[in-house]
Structure formats: structure tokens, C-alpha cells
Structure 1
Amino acid sequence: MSEPSDEQAAMQHYLVCGTEDCQKNGQFYCNACHQSLCEQCRNEHQKSPNTKNHEIVLYRHRKHQLPVEKCKDHPTRNIDIFCKECQIALCSKCSTMEEHNGHKFDDLEDIYAEKYALWQGEFSKIQKYFLPTSQDLKTDIEEDSTQIKKIMESIRTSMKAKAESLKNLVDVVTSENIEHSYTMEESLLKKLKSQETTYDDYIAYLWKMSDEFQEYLSITNQKLLFSKTLKIQQIPETTKPVPPVFTVGQFNKDDVTKLLGKVNVPNTKPEKRKIQPMEVVTAHMKPTEKQLEQSKEKSDMKQTLSLSSSVTKVREYSVPGVGSVYHVSLDKPGRLWVSDGSGNLVQTDLQGNQLQKIQASGRYAGYHTATQDGDLIYTDQDKNVIYRITADKKITEFIKTGAICVHSSHINGDILVGMIGKVIRYSKAGKEIQNIQWDEYGLVIGPSYITENINGDICISDNYNDAVVVVNKSGQQRFSYTGHGSEFFPDGICTDVLGHILVCDNASKSVHLLDQDGGFLSIILSSKQGIKGPLGVCVDDENNLHVGQRTTNTVTVYKYLQ
């Protein structure tokens, strides 16, 4: 009976015993006979005098049969042994020849079985590791290609906007210069007109003097020659105007390039694509019940959550010690930190009871953040230092750097620090691990609030460009959001478990809801809900939106997901 292949065996309900007329499950295998056996036939095989010494194993541990190949010198014999000295395969009769006298031999079938197992292992690696991993890397490349296209399109859009801005500035400066030239011309002509009037007056004076001299010179009036002496006034002095000179601006293509910026590849060593080790990919470790339960809860939450048709007010509480709520950082369950525009930084519970109060130098920005460990990190803008407050209320110097806004990642605990022109990523221990320079991408960013989305995107409320600027975890720009058809002054910003971006708009006094790719979804809070000046926002573990305003010291909580 021919041996079924592994693929055929996998498709059968069970392996059939190789004994003639036996259709039972052939779960065992005789390596000598190369035949599958059921349990009963195995017992008989082991009892038979002719086969009792045969090696019988489980089918999956079987030795694969050596393919039949006839010896060229002895056609009636099969090649089944291997000469270790000559390193060639032989038949049993060849091994008795004089040239192999005294040589050592191995069973070729054992060698074949060993090689077969090795090949099977390598084949399994290809199927289970190399092919899937390569396909994942290819998919990663395809995603990078799509991302590059988006980035380059965004760069081109920025180029056009910058060029248009420069054109507008050129028009403004030219108009101002022309207007100034008219003003200068009017001033010079007015001065010349004044000089002309001076000479008109002097000429009139000369005609008058001429008449008097004629009287003096007449014979009848000779007596006047002895009465008084006439003196002619000097000709008035005037100045010639100094005509303005137009100084032509000196510039060339390089100067224009410096103004507009240019596309270049950052002088950064390309990051190698991460290839998971084989043992990680092929490991089949069973997750713990707790891990399965947590994973199921998160998966169920994402599958069941969706935007509600209306926003519902859940609760509202006042925060003592602050005059307004510019930023909110959610601490451990039931506690939060709130800051106002005067540098007051207060920790409170959900009943409005003050737990701590600190006088900081931060003002109108998201300059504090709660970490995964329940600590608070805040920046002292006057001292250019970032501090950490631990659960025991101990304040320590954390990072020696200035910052406008900070955010502690909910993904890995990294600290994102926003500054003019750049964002720096620090580890939980305060070690710098990434420096994103915005000018490398032709951007000038003035971050006031910063957060991170579930896909690793860095989301910035940019009050320099009046836009929400989003870059991926590598620092490459993904998109900018500049409002929905009207003026847009972004303030507080946060994200939720579904990847939505929520941002306060100080222009329309509302909260905008965007999707993960910057698409406008809705204005979920406005004056209709009693919102007058939203500034600080964050989402808690129960997917509730906390909103702080400029005009009051209350925090209002809303339910917008269902």
C-alpha cells in the first residue's frame, strides 16, 4: 500500500491501517516495513517471529522511506548504503568490492530520514515564518508607499501655500512702496511749490523797488535823492530737491529658496524594518485567562462602541483654587489635575475636593500630563525644567529642558514634549529617544497642546498656524486640519479609544470631532450645550469627555459614545 502524503493524511478523517483488508485507524508505523498499523495490527506485528524486532513508532514519528534507486553496476540491487570514506551511495554488493575494503558504511535510509526531517523542518519554516514575515514586510512597504504619497502631496500643498503667501507679501510690499513713492512725491512738490512762492514774492518786491528807483531818478524828484538811501534785499536762497533713489533689492534663486523652503531627505539613518525573530513568530504560547479576558474586553468595546446620535451631560463639578480650566489631566480613577491661565495647578476629586495645589509658571497650554503610573509631569517654563510629582506628593526634577506642552503616552508611557519648531520624545525614565525637527518638513510649529492617537500618530494643536497638525510616529506629516469652513483657533486636544481626535475651537467656541485621518465628522459641543469657551479636553477610561472652559472653574462631563 502506498504511503499517503502529509497533505493527504491531513485531509483524511484518519489514516488507514496498511494491513490488507484492515480499514482501522493506522496511528502507528513500522519503520522496517514502512507501513501504517492500527493498534491491533501493531500488537500482532510485535508478536510475529518475523517482525517482532521491527521498530514501531507513532505515525508522526515515522522514518520516511528511502526512494528506490537501482545500482548502475548491479541493476538487481537497490542503492541503500553510504560509504563514509568515499562519500558515495552504494548497493550492498558494491560495498564488498575491493575498493571499499575496510571502509565504514551508514544506512542510507537513516541518512535520508535525517535529511528528510531537516528538509521538512526548513519547509515548515518557509510556510510558518519566512513567507508570512516576508508578506508582512511587503505589506509594510506598500503602506509606506501610500504614506510617502500622502506626505509628498502634503509637502506640495505646503509649498503652494507658502508660495502663495510670499506672492501676497510681495503684492503688499509693492503696494506699500508705491504708496510711499506718491507720499514722497507730494512732499517734494509741496516744498518746491513753497520755493516757487518765495520767488514770486521776491519778484513782486523787485518790481516795487524798480518803481521806487524810477521815481528817485526822475528830474522832478531829484530832491528825493538826498532824502534816503534805498537798499535792495538779497535774492532768497533755496535748495534743489534731492530726488529719491530706488534701491533695487538684491536676490537670487537661492534667496527665494530660503524663503520658500525646499524638499530634502533628512540626514537621518534609515530605520531598519523590524523582523520578528522566528522563535517569537512560531511560538504557540497559550495566553493566560486574564490576558484573554482583557483582550476580549477591549475587542468587544471597540466592536460595540460607536458615536451616539446625541451628546448627553453626565455630571459637572467645580474645581476650587482655579479661575478657569485651561487644561485637564486625568489621574488615577476619581482624581484629576486642572490648570488655569494664572499658573494655578490643582488636583481634585470628582466631588470637587482639593487634594493638592501648586503654583506653576505654565499658562495657556497643556503643560501637564498624568502618567500610566499615576504621577504628574509638568513643565516650568520660567526655569526650563520638567518636574514629576509622585503619589506621595514629592516633587523632583525630571528632565532639564524647556517645553510648552507635554503628554504621557497611553501606549508605551513615553513622554512627548512640544516646543517651538520641534517635538522630543523621552522614555519613561527621561532619556531622549526621538527628536522631530519640524523645519525638516518645511513646517514651523507652535504647539500649545499635544496628544497621541491609538495608532501612534502625534496630534498637535498648533496656535502658530491655527491648525491641528498630525504626524506619524516617525515624525512625518500626515495631515493638517484648519477648521470646517470658518476661522479656526485650536486649543485643547485629545483622542479616544476609536482613534477620534477631539479639539477645542476658540473661534467658534465649540469642540470638533475628527476621524483618525483628519476628516471632519461633527461639532459635538457648542453653545447649544451651554459651551461658551472650551479650552481643555480629555477622555476617561469610561469613554466620557471632560471639558474645561475659559469662563468658569467647572469641569463638565459628557457621554458621546454608545
Structure 2
Amino acid sequence: MDPRTSAQNVIHCDLCETVKVQMHCDTCLVNLCKACVGEHISAGDESKDHKVVKYQSRNSTPIYPECTSHEKERCEMFCRKCDISVCASCLSSDQHISNKLSKILEVLDEKKDKINKYKTDLNENVNPKYLEMASNVQNKISELEKEYGELLTSITKQGEVLQREIDKLVNKLKNQIDKIKSSQLQTLQKILDEINRKMIDIKQEINLLDIAKDSNDISKIINLRSTVDQHKIFPQIPVLSAPKFTPKAIQEEELCSHFGDLSLIPLKSKEHGNIIKTTKNKRIISSPPLVKERLLKVNAPQKKLRNEPELFDQRIYHFGYLRRVAWLSDEKIWTCDNSCTMTLYSINQGSPLKSIRTRTINSLPSDIAVTKSGELVYTDICERTVNIVKNENKEEVIRLNNWKPLGICSTSSGDLLVTMESDDNKQSKVVRYSDSTEKQSIQFVYKGTPLYSSDGSDKLICENRNLDICVADSGAKAIVVVNQFGKLRFKYSGHTPAPWNRTLNPRGITTDSQSNILTTDYDNNCVHIIDQNGRFLQFLEFGFYALGGLCTNSDDYLFLISWKYFFSLSSSLEKIKYLH
């Protein structure tokens, strides 16, 4: 226990620690008894002017600040222009003679008035508002807990309703099967009973024939009439079999349409008076830019697929192995080959306009794309970077650690979607970037189940008109499509029979104005066209030509890289019309 205090919290002298406090030194802020006052003054700093007052009058003596310019000087004045305290020596130096000076006690009173106003404002305005906000947030937490509980209960009940309907449907089918089974078994049992009766009749007739054969009665033998011919009329046995049950593939969207959907409510922040202003780190949830514009295009007049695609003579020949292609304008298209060069071609002239090399020697661009503003972006797998070309200057936009960038596309909102794989080839994902900031990561279907393969294979990407994210995953031998929130919609693994009866091996992906998805199939020398829900529509076959990257323009013309197996040192870029 502190010896200066008793059970009744009596304050004792700071020096002797036994006698009840009677005096107080305002200079040193020390509690004293009368007997210790002299000791305190004599033992203390002689330069200090000890202000010893009764304990009840403590803190009544102002403590003047020490001067920062003159040692051991106390400041009794305040220079308002310089905003500092000044002592007598400062005033005698004429440094502040022309400035406005005030007694420091006056400044002290002003400051105390402001402190009282601040305190009053905090107590009467600010703190009550925070208390109100805290109460509102706590109430909202309770409301949300209740709402989410009701939501889960509603979903559970809907699941029970759906389960009961499924049970009813299953029981109905079982009853139908039981009736069909019973009817068929009765039919067969009747035929079996008739066969058994016939066999008894035949046995009896055989006995009669044996008796007649051994009889000497000529009259009986002559009058005997056999029914063998009647027994040769065999009963007809129907060919019966159990009904066949063909399970229908259950698409998640169809199930959701019967079960119900979650409607997301946009997040809104409420401002309370003028106290809180959320001007920084303010996030507004809204539809991405140009979504309405894109939806209008989706609702444009429908175009039908042509039975026979039309190939144009506007063909670009390239000495080397073209890999990727990205549309720029009506007459210009970007390509990249198996070197570190990206080339801009004129469609009409079929000639190169300019070439851009990667930022570092021997860095192969894994994929290329064109942004909304018409700038070329590319992924550099060796440097682990995403780069943009502005006025022929290459700038690094994104640099990855422990991940390699693969495919890239520019979205309707101006974001970049990048497919990437970990350095150890054990993980793959799609990441959305706004400028250089990561906004979204898409990696798993559910509870750690990966969406994409992880084997170092190509994973090219594009955004569909309905904002779905489509990945041509050659390692998974599939097209993997998720919605804009990263939820799996479907996987397309090819259509049977394929032109060469081989498994789908996608090497490029694009979409058109009808939200169709087009992918090149390297092993089957064809282009698969599927709709936005994964339903197969058509093959575009190219015989002995192998196919690489592809893209479409605003008029739905398809531009497709092709090369012959035996002449792979040269490739061509075809222009194809496949829609009416």
C-alpha cells in the first residue's frame, strides 16, 4: 500500500510521507506539510522562485514558460506576430518592438476560453453524435443478424420445399414404374400360365397316344383324333423391357430460376451533419462504366451463322510463327510471333506499318491486347510484368512476385484481366486490375477447388458482352466461363464428333456482338462457336491448316492465324465472314 495514503485515501506529504498534506508548491507541483516547506525550498533549485500556497489553493499560481533564447529567463509577454513567448531580455533586444505584444496571462485566458469552447463542442455536439452513431450501428448489427437469420431460414425452407417437390416427383416416377412393371409382369405371367397348361395337355395327350399305340382295339385306334396341330399354335411372347430413364443435365442457372436469387443492395454511406466527410478511400458500388452501352449492343438485331463461311482475299502473310492477334481499328491489327517483336499490320495493304520490341531482349510476349483508348498492352512472362505501349514508349504497369502473367484482355470498364500461374506451376488464377491496383482475384470454384489447370499451359482470356469472363485453358482442355463476380457458369470441353475426333485443345478465344464465344482448336484444325450459355453452335473447319490466335472486329469479321504443318516457317492471317 502507498504509505502516503490511508484507507480513507488521505493524501500525505511527498517528502516525509507520514503527515497529512497541508501545503503545495505550485512551481514544482509537490505536496508538502508545514514542517517540510523549509526543507523543500532549501534543497530545491535556487534559481526557481518557489510559490508555496495552501493545498486548497494549489495550481493558482501561473507557471511562466522558460525562454528558448535566454537561459533561466521566464516569459511574461507573448508576440502575436511571431507566435512565441518572449522574456524581458527578448524585449530589450528590440527584436519584437514593432510587433503586437500581449501579456501572456491574457493569451492564457484566451486559450482557456478556446479550450472550454472545444470541450463544450466535444461534449455537446461531437460526442453525442458519435454515441448516436454507435447506437445506430449497434442496432444495425442486431438488425442485420436478424435479417441474415431470416434469410438463411427462408433459404432453408425453400430448400425443404424444393426437396419435397423432388421427393414427390421421385415418388410419382416410382409409382409409374411400379404400374408399368406390374402390368408387364402380369402379361408375362398369363403367358407362362397358358404355356404350363399347354404342357399339361401335351403330357396327357402323349399318355393317350401311348395307350392307343399299345391297344388291340382297332376301333379306338381308328377313331383316335390327335390335337398335335392345335399344340403347334404357339403363344406369342411380347418383347418387353423396362422404360429407359434419361437424366437431364441440371444447369445452375436453371436451378436458381426455380429456387430463387439473391438481390444485392448497393452499399450507401450516410453522412451525419458536417462531422464526417468521406472524401478519401470512398468506395461506391455501381455498375462498371459502359455496361449500359454494352447491354444495348447485346440487344441489337440478332445475326445468324452462315452455313458456309466466306474467306476474303485480304490476307496477311508473315514469315515466322504468328501466335497472337489483337484488333485496333478498321484497317489496323496488332500481331506477335515467336520472337520478341509485336507488329502492326494494315489489313487492306497486307503490309507491316511498324514493329515494337519488348522492353528486354529475349523476352517473349505471352499475349497482347488493345485498351479502350487504343494502346497496346502485353504480358512479359520472363520479366513477370504487364506493359503498355504509349507513343512507342514501353511502360511497366504491373510487376508480379512469384507469379507469371499469361493471357490479358481489356474490359468494357477499362480494367485489365490477367491470367497468371505461380512459379511452381501449382496455382492459377485470373486477376482484375484497375490501373495498377488489384480489384478482384478469381481462383477457386468452391472451398479450394481450382477453376483452372496449373501445368504451365496457355490460358488466354476475353470478356463477353454479358460481362462473363472466358478463359481458354489448354491444360484443362476446356473453355472455363465465370460471371463478373467470379462464380462458375459452365465449362465447355468440346463437341462430338469433332472434325479429327480429338480432344479440344484451345489456343485462342474471342467473342462477338451476339455474345457467342469462338475458340481455335489446335488438334482438330477448327474453330468452335458456342453461345453465351455454353451450347455448341457450329464448327468452322480448316482441313490441314493448324490454327492459333483469333479476334473479331466491330463488324463481326473474324481474323484468324493459320499455318500448314509442313510449312510452319510462314503463317497467314485470314479474314472470315461467318455471320449473316
TM-score range, shorter chain: 0.3 to 0.5
Normalised by the length of structure 1, the TM-score is 0.45
- Structure with the higher helix share, 1 or 2: 1
